[in-house]
Amino acid sequence: MRRAQGEGRSKIQTTGIPFPLKKFNIHIVLVGVAVLGAMVLSNSAVADRYPYDIEFSARLVTAALERTKHSVTYEGSYRKIAYPGGDVPDDIGVCSDVVIRAYRQVGIDLQKEVHEDMKGSFSLYPKNWGLKRTDTNIDHRRVPNLQVFFRRHGAELPVSKDPGHYLPGDLVTWTVQGSLPHIGIVSDSRTLLGKRPLMVHNIGRGPVLEDMLFECPITGHYRYYGQGP
């Protein structure tokens, strides 16, 4: 895992424990070990149920971080684009375009995959926009559609308040400003003290890397590696 610059190593105090407190402190240590063991078992259980592809995730994170080097104006107007492999101009985009472009770099075309799934199961997707049929220009760029797609393909994970459950390459969705859907990618960098992973997302200032994970209500947690052969 990468850590933010400036984070130093923890210093261990070596001052001796006064004799009357030794037994008490030993008890604390044993309780601490038990709690730590429970956390390890909990994270292990999550890992067993939701496999993690380190190599794929590393490539996805690299692609996401590369997006932060681009100057992008936040602009989500409807535009006609090619299919498959279509995209709006590289210097504009919204939060979902960060995800779409990162996945394209690792060989997954969410425009195509979402469209094909919606075409066969249109009734299961949100009707927030009054559409009566699929639209390859915009369907994959809508966060609620992506959420349904990931859920339908077994990519949904539990939403947790434990930052350790969010691994590099995972996807997180939020509600911002009370009602607006938002999406970002978990990076392999962490906050200054290592407590939380930093997120790659575009909330209006272009793709950025920042401490966003618990800033807004989380509505979804996903780990998607494509549909396979």
Q: In what order do the strands lie in the sheet with 180-190?
A: 156-157, 218-222, 171-176, 180-190, 197-201, 208-210
Would you place residue 44 in the very low, low, confident or very high pLDDT band (cuts 50, 70, 90)? low
Cα(100)–Cα(91) distance, rounded to whole angstroms? 14
Range in 73-77, 128-132, 185-189, 197-201 the model is least confident about: 128-132
Q: What is the pLDDT of residues 106-140, one digit of tens each?
A: 999 999 999 999 999 999 999 999 999 999 999 99
Please list, residue by residue across 167-183, b when 16 or more beta carbons sit within 10 angstroms of its beta carbon and e when fewer do. bbbbbbbbeeeeeebbb
Would you place residue 26 in the very low, low, confident or very high pLDDT band (cuts 50, 70, 90)? very low
Residues 53-66 have a mean pLDDT of: 98
Whether the predicted pLDDT of 30 surpasses 90: no
Range in 5-9, 73-77, 177-181, 202-206 the model is least confident about: 5-9
Q: What is the pLDDT of residues 133-173, one digit of tens each?
A: 999 999 999 999 999 999 999 999 999 999 999 999 999 99
Strands 171-176 vs 218-222: parallel, antiparallel or unpaired? antiparallel
The predicted structure's pLDDT at residue 49: 81
Range in 13-22, 71-80, 177-186 the model is least confident about: 13-22
Between the two ends of the chain, the Cα-to-Cα distance in Å is 30
Q: What is the dihedral sign for C-alpha 182, 188, 194, 200?
A: negative
Whether the predicted pLDDT of 2 surpasses 70: no
Mean pLDDT, the chain, rounded, equals 85
Would you place residue 40 in the very low, low, confident or very high pLDDT band (cuts 50, 70, 90)? very low
